[in-house]
Every structure is written in C-alpha cells, then in structure tokens.
C-alpha cells in the first residue's frame, strides 16, 4: 500500500474562472472546475474557506463525478453540507481507478477530512503487522506507534479492509491471530484450526520450523513478491497431485484461490522502481510547472507541483537542471532521479548528489519501459497543474484589482498582509501573519509570533497586536530600510532603521519550506516583495487604532491599513471595514472582493489558531523535569518510573533520590536545589 509523507502535498488550484460570477463557496464554485477536467480517473480534494481539506474522493471519470456536485438536490445532508462548504478543489489524474483508490487512501490518511465518514472516528489508518516477538509469529490489525517487533504492511483504507485481508491471508497461509495470552494457555487446537484457518502452532499441530516457513511466505506476499509465492504453491500442488495426495493438493489449491482475492497489479506502485524521484516539466504562457513524484520502498509517497520563477528565455532543460541542483539542498537524496528530458551538466549533478548521499545516484532520462511511463505520467500532471495555475493567476489578478478599488489604493497590491491573534484567556498567546499576492497565498512568507510581553493583561488583544506589529516592522526596517516613497517623519531610534542588506540573487526555486520565526510553513506564492501594499487587521476600530500607533511610532505613515470587524452575531457577509480618514463601510453580499477578503481573514485565523494549538499541545506535554540541568531522557524515565510523577519527585528527599538508578549524590542535591529555588 502506498504511503504519503507529511511534507508532500498535491498541487493547489483555485477557481479557474472569474470569481465575480458566483459566491466563493458552494456548487457555483465547483461548477467552474468542471469544464477544465478530463474524463479519466483520478482523485479530488475539496477545501473550505480556511483552506482545510474537508473531503477526498476518487472517480473513474473525474468530470462526471465533480459534475454531480454542481447541484444541491438529491444529496444526503452530509454531502449537501460538504458542497456548501467547498471553496476550492484540487485534482490528481491517475491511469486507472485502482490507482485512484490507493492514492485516495493515502490522502485521507494525510489530511483526515471530516466528510470522509468511514474514517472520521479513526485516530490513524490501520496496518497489518506480522509480530515476531513470540515463538510463533502472529498476524494482526495494528494502529498507532510501531512498538512491537515485526513487519508492518499498509496503510489500509479501513478496518474492514484489514479484517477482510487478514481473513483471506488466514486461508492462504494459516497464520495465528490469537492474542499471546490465548496462545500461551492453549492445551488443544481452537476452532480456527478445525475450519482450516490456522496451522495450530500453539499445540504443535505444525512444527515451529514449518510454521516459520508459512510466515516467510506471507511476508514475501505482502512485500510484493506475489509471483514467487504463487509459483511455489503451484509446484507443491502439482507434486502432491502426482503423488496422488489429493487432499494435500486441494489445500494448496485453496491457498492459491485465497491469494487471488488479495493480489492485484497496481501501476501506482511500480514493481521495477524501489526508490526514486520523478521530475517532469511543463511550460506555457511564460510560466513553468515542475511536477515531482516520490517513490520509496516501491510505493508512491505522493507528489508535489512547483512553480519556479525563471526567465522566459530559459529552455525547459535549463530550468529543470537549475531546479534539481537547488531542490536537494535540504532534502534526502534517493538512489535514482528520473527526468522528463536531458538537462545541462547531468553527469555533474549525478556526481554531486552521489557525494551528498554517500553512494551512487543515477540521474537519468528514461526512454522506454515502466520508468518512461512514470515520467510521462508526471508530465501529464505537470501540464494540467500548470493550466489550473494560469487560470488561478488570472482570477487573482481581477480580485486584487477589485481590492485596490475598494480600499482606495494607488496601484494593484502586490503584497497583502493579514494579522490575527489566538489565545485562551491570555495563555499560549500567538500572533499570526499571512501573506497573499498575485499567485494566491505566499505561505513561505507566513510568520508567527510568540507573545513575549509578560505584563500584558490576560486577553489584551490590543497589546498583543502592538507587540506583533512592532516586532514585525522593526525587523522589516532593519532588513530592508524604508519603503519606496516613505520618509522618516519622526526620526525613530537608530537601531530601528538600518540600511537595507544587499539582497542576494533571487532563487530560481520557491522552496516547499521556508524559515519562520518559531516555525516553518509550506511555501508557494511567487515573488511578493518585502513591504506590504495593504495591511488587514482582524478587528474593529480598537485594533486599527493600536496598529496605527505602532506605525506612527516607527515613522511609517504611508502604509494602507484597514480593520475587519465581524458583523452582528458574527455573521459572515456583514463585516464592517474601518480605515483611517474614512467612515466605516460594508460591501455588498455578492461582491467578489468581500469573499476574497473573507478568505484572507479566515486564512489568518486558521494560521493563528493552528500555531496556538501547536504551542498549547507542546506545553501540555512538557514536564518540569525537562528544565533541570543534567536530567536527560534516561534519568527522567528512571525518576518517573521510581516516583510516579514529577510532583512526587519534587517532594522526595536526598536519600530517596539517590536510591534511583543513575542519580548520584551530586545529582540528587542538584535536583533538590532546583526545586528549592522555585518555592
């Protein structure tokens, strides 16, 4: 079964037509995608206004399936609610419906959408494990951490799929499924042995050596060596038949029939490719898309579309060569790299990657066979992703032009920054900044700010906003100087305004990840510059006033700024906008700029809440023992095992602490002193 890494996502695409024709959620949005879809199989994802995946589905015919969502009638309440919440969609084409099924399972595992009902209550996807920590290995369903010694296979789409597969494998390989306590206490074979679902190793109905052979056969089959296992069973069946042992031959025949139910050739997991990255490039309309597919352990771990900034005069081969050279700067290198076309200095790239990995890396352009099919498959997805990107850029340009008109800007904004705070009664307070530009959300420019001011009144949103904006624009002034057209009216402190650093040459690749203050965020969004053309603050007149005070203190008077206050009863569509020198105003309910601003505000809200939750989760899992100098994981485990809790450790005396393995007299004294300083 394919798996997918946390860091890999399918390419993002927004509405391919003008958003002015329909609201930004619901069947009207879905309808705009239909004419851009093909009739082949594939996987689609639905996202809400906050950008969260709410549903992942597969289809034999993508166009027909998505067409079904363009009307509200005839659906269950769950599907109707899903349609109403859909703001954007994403697509990946596959060659067969079976491939779409496997990829759908991977994406559901990755995103855990709330409208995939079969999986909404599952904490994780189920696996099959063959445990080898007993004298007779056990086959079982498994979730969670892989603590037990054994071989793991999966993930599977549902617990039902695992149960059906295990039942079939029981008939094929006769492996035990009973718990260790049951196995250890058996004095005679159970019912599963009687119905030929288990070989009966518990009472030595089969020698352990022969049972180990069955385990090896099952492991080989689940690892993809299906042909070898079937050939062996066929040979044994024929030998038994020739020896006139028809009952034994029938057992082998039944095992072969059982294997036929779980064996299937899936092109999404090519048999001839164990570990490789596949790169394919497409160019159109002055833009470039590079699609990368990742294969590990013979499984497809997902794909990602990149849109590097490159001069229009560069050929696809030149762009691809430069892209690959930068791509592996901070990423693990596979044994093979497949390209859609030859690139300049390909041998040199191979040598450099081999040096980085410490073993030979093949950088090749396949010409035929299964590897060429993989490159063609990636190239098809690159062309279609680029087409959606071009449509998205056109739509964003119109929305940005509308925002310039609504907020009275002198030119179409290239960079919009949106700020929001998140906390619970002032605890774990985090400020978030998101950035949007001509190509959508520029996630590599996102920033989060842990609130550091200790004397803030809990829940003081105005004070939090002051701190966030002060830190943000002090750093911006230090790194880039005053924006074009600005002059320092109030002579801020010398350390506040510093000469801009000489910028380095722009990178060809917009990397998937970018450094943040206290974190990382997925990247894409193109070149949006350093200084914002428009600041949007989540809040009303009070938040706007706090932001204006910060900008005035720093000598910044020319930045356009607006506050977004939620409407009565927090109703979306009734927001009030506050700008300096203008009376508060609202936008018509069907104004596409209103939906655009709502999406920006909701993205800032999502980012701030996500950062807050991550900080809160980290705080909940921290232990006060972590702060004691000299207490590492081993001593921490020993102390907790001995005393039961950190609180009990704090009450322990010197003699009690010295009784713990690994705690010397000096360390015990250090622990006591550490707690004494905090009383």
Reported confidence tier of residue 339, pLDDT bands at 50, 70, 90? very high
In the chain, the percentage of residues whose pLDDT exceeds 90 is: 14
Tell me what the mean pLDDT of segment 639-664 comes to. Answer: 84
Tell me what the mean pLDDT of segment 244-257 comes to. Answer: 72
Element (H, E) at 427: strand 427-437
Between 618 and 271, residue with greater pLDDT:
618
Look-up of token digits 């190239």: 379
Tell me what the mean pLDDT of segment 581-594 comes to. Answer: 86
Nearest alpha carbon to residue 111 among 120, 100, 102? 120
Between 65 and 240, residue with greater pLDDT:
65
Reported confidence tier of residue 6, pLDDT bands at 50, 70, 90? very low
Q: Do 516 and 432 meet the contact criterion of CB atoms below 8 Å apart?
A: no
Between 66 and 570, residue with greater pLDDT:
66
Tokens of 593: 């700029």
Distance, first Cα to last Cα, the chain: 54
**Residue 499 DSSP symbol:** P
So what's the pLDDT on residue 496? 38
State whether 441 and 523 are in the same domain. Answer: yes
So what's the pLDDT on residue 521? 33
How far is Cα 316 from Cα 428, in angstroms, rounded to an integer?
47
So what's the pLDDT on residue 579? 92
> Any idea which of 144-153, 440-449, 577-586, 662-671 has the lowest mean pLDDT?
144-153
Reported confidence tier of residue 259, pLDDT bands at 50, 70, 90? low
Between 144 and 191, residue with greater pLDDT:
191
Helices (H), 407-419: none
Q: Do 566 and 597 meet the contact criterion of CB atoms below 8 Å apart?
A: no
Tokens of 54: 């709410």
State whether 462 and 344 are in the same domain. Answer: no
State whether 88 and 171 are in the same domain. Answer: no
Reported confidence tier of residue 14, pLDDT bands at 50, 70, 90? very low
CB within 8 A of 426, min separation 6: which ones? Answer: 456, 457, 458, 459, 460
Which range is most confident: 138-152, 309-323, 358-372, 386-400? 358-372
So what's the pLDDT on residue 330? 59
**Residue at 326 is within a domain:** yes
Between 57 and 416, residue with greater pLDDT:
416
**Residue 577 DSSP symbol:** E
Give burial (CB, 10 Å; 0-12/13-18/19+) of 53.
Answer: buried
Tokens of 50: 């906050």
Count how many domains the chain has: 5
Tell me what the mean pLDDT of segment 139-143 comes to. Answer: 84
State whether 256 and 133 are in the same domain. Answer: yes
Between 632 and 89, residue with greater pLDDT:
89
Tokens of 543: 């938040």
| Other beta carbons less than 10 A from residue 594's beta carbon | 22
Tell me which residue range forms the domain holding 315.
Answer: 276-389
**Residue at 61 is within a domain:** yes
Count how many Cα atoms sit within 13 Å of the Cα of residue 544 in the half-sphere of its side chain: 20
Radius of gyration (C-alpha) of the chain in whole angstroms? 30
Distances (CA, A) of 571 to 82, 270, 566: 19, 50, 7
Residue 63 has pLDDT above 80, yes or no: yes
Reported confidence tier of residue 486, pLDDT bands at 50, 70, 90? low
So what's the pLDDT on residue 346? 83
How far is Cα 402 from Cα 29, in angstroms, rounded to an integer?
19
**pLDDT tens for each residue of 395-441:** 888 889 999 999 999 899 999 999 998 888 777 888 999 999 888 88
So what's the pLDDT on residue 433? 93
Tell me what the mean pLDDT of segment 365-370 comes to. Answer: 88
So what's the pLDDT on residue 454? 72
State whether 81 and 28 are in the same domain. Answer: yes
Tell me what the mean pLDDT of segment 88-95 comes to. Answer: 89
Tell me what the mean pLDDT of segment 23-28 comes to. Answer: 78
Counted residue by residue, the chain has a size of: 679
State whether 142 and 253 are in the same domain. Answer: yes
So what's the pLDDT on residue 263? 47
**Residue at 268 is within a domain:** no
State whether 381 and 416 are in the same domain. Answer: no
**pLDDT tens for each residue of 153-180:** 754 545 666 777 787 778 778 888 888 8
> Any idea which of 78-82, 100-104, 431-435 has the lowest mean pLDDT?
100-104
**Looking at 48, 74, 96, which one is the last position of a domain?**
96
- Give the CATH number for residue 639: 1.10.150.20
**Does residue 83 have a cis peptide bond before it, meaning omega lies within 30 degrees of 0?**
no
Average pLDDT, the chain: 77
**Residue at 437 is within a domain:** yes
Give burial (CB, 10 Å; 0-12/13-18/19+) of 147.
Answer: exposed
State whether 548 and 668 are in the same domain. Answer: no
Residue 354 has pLDDT above 80, yes or no: yes
Q: What is the dihedral sign for C-alpha 431, 436, 441, 443?
A: negative
> Any idea which of 228-242, 480-494, 497-511 has the lowest mean pLDDT?
497-511
How far is Cα 495 from Cα 32, in angstroms, rounded to an integer?
51
CB within 8 A of 512, min separation 6: which ones? Answer: 7, 304, 306, 522, 523, 524
**Residue at 525 is within a domain:** yes
pTM to 2 decimals? 0.45
Tell me what the mean pLDDT of segment 465-480 comes to. Answer: 90
> Any idea which of 101-105, 496-500, 557-561 has the lowest mean pLDDT?
496-500
How far is Cα 411 from Cα 399, in angstroms, rounded to an integer?
13
Residue 65 has pLDDT above 70, yes or no: yes
So what's the pLDDT on residue 413? 92
**Residue at 11 is within a domain:** no
**Residue at 87 is within a domain:** yes
State whether 609 and 670 are in the same domain. Answer: no
**Residue at 140 is within a domain:** yes
Nearest alpha carbon to residue 492 among 513, 511, 476? 476
State whether 466 and 602 are in the same domain. Answer: yes
Residue 237 has pLDDT above 50, yes or no: yes
Q: Do 37 and 91 meet the contact criterion of CB atoms below 8 Å apart?
A: yes
Residue 495 has pLDDT above 50, yes or no: no
So what's the pLDDT on residue 184? 83
**Residue 117 DSSP symbol:** G
State whether 593 and 628 are in the same domain. Answer: no
> Any idea which of 135-144, 359-368, 539-548 has the lowest mean pLDDT?
135-144
Residue 658 has pLDDT above 50, yes or no: yes
- Give the CATH number for residue 342: 3.30.420.340
State whether 346 and 416 are in the same domain. Answer: no
């Amino acid at each position: 079964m394919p798996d997918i890494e946390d860091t890999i996502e399918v390419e993002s695409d927004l509405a391919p037509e003008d958003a002015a024709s329909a609201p930004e959620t619901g069947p009207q949005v879905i309808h705009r995608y239909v004419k851009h879809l093909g009739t082949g199989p594939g996987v689609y994802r639905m996202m809400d206004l906050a950008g969260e995946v709410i549903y992942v589905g597969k289809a034999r015919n993508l166009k027909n399936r998505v067409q079904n969502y363009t009307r509200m009638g005839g659906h269950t309440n769950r599907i109707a609610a899903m349609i109403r919440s859909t703001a954007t969609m994403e697509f990946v084409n596959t060659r067969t419906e079976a491939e779409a099924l496997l990829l759908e399972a991977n994406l559901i595992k990755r995103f855990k959408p709330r409208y995939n009902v079969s999986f909404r209550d599952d904490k994780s996807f189920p696996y099959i494990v063959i445990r080898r920590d007993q004298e007779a290995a056990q086959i079982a369903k498994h979730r969670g951490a892989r603590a037990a010694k054994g071989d793991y296979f999966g993930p599977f789409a549902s617990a039902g799929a695992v149960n059906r597969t295990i039942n079939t494998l029981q008939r094929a390989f006769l492996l035990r499924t009973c718990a260790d306590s049951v196995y250890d206490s058996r004095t005679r074979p159970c019912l599963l042995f009687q119905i030929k679902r288990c070989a009966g190793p518990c009472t030595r109905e089969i020698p352990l050596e022969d049972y180990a052979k069955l385990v090896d056969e099952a492991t080989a089959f689940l690892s993809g060596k299906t042909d070898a296992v079937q050939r062996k069973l066929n040979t044994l069946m024929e030998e038994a038949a020739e020896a006139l042992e028809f009952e034994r031959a029938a057992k082998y025949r039944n095992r072969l029939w059982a294997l036929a139910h779980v064996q299937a050739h899936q092109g999404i997991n090519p048999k001839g490719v164990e570990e490789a990255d596949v790169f394919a490039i497409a160019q159109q309309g002055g833009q470039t898309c590079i699609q990368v597919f990742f294969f590990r352990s013979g499984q497809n771990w997902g794909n990602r579309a990149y849109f590097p900034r490159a001069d229009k005069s560069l050929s696809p081969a030149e762009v691809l060569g430069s892209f690959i050279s930068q791509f592996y700067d901070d990423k693990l290198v596979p044994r093979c790299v497949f390209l859609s076309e030859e690139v300049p200095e390909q041998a040199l790239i191979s040598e450099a990657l081999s040096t980085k990995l410490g073993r030979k890396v093949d950088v090749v352009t396949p010409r035929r066979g299964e590897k060429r099919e993989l490159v063609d498959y990636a190239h098809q997805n690159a062309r279609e992703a680029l087409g959606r990107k071009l449509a998205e850029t056109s739509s964003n340009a119109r929305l940005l032009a509308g925002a310039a008109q609504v907020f009275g800007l002198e030119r179409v904004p290239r960079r919009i920054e949106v700020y929001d705070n998140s906390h619970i009664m002032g605890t774990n307070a985090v400020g978030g900044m998101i950035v949007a530009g001509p190509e959508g959300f520029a996630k590599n420019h996102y920033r989060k700010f842990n609130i550091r001011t200790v004397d803030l009144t809990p829940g003081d949103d105005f004070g939090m906003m002051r701190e966030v904006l002060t830190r943000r624009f002090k750093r911006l002034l230090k790194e880039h100087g005053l924006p074009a057209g600005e002059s320092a009216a109030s002579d801020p402190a010398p350390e506040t305004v510093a000469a801009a650093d000489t910028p380095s040459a722009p990178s060809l690749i917009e990397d998937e990840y970018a450094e943040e203050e206290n974190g990382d965020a997925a990247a894409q969004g193109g070149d949006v510059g350093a200084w914002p053309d428009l600041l949007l603050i989540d809040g009303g007149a009070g938040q706007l006033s706090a932001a204006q005070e910060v900008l005035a203190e720093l000598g910044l008077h020319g930045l356009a700024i607006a506050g977004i206050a939620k409407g009565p009863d927090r109703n979306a569509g009734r927001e009030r906008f506050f700008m300096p020198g203008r009376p508060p105003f609202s936008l018509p309910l069907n104004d596409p700029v209103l939906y655009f601003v709502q999406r920006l505000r909701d993205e800032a809200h999502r980012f701030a809440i996500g950062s807050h939750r991550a900080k809160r989760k980290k705080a909940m899992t921290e232990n006060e023992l972590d702060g004691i100098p000299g207490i590492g994981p081993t001593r921490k485990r020993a102390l907790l095992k001995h005393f039961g809790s950190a609180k009990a450790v704090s009450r322990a005396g010197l003699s009690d602490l010295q009784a713990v393995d690994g705690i010397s007299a000096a360390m015990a004294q250090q622990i006591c002193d550490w707690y004494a300083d905090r009383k």
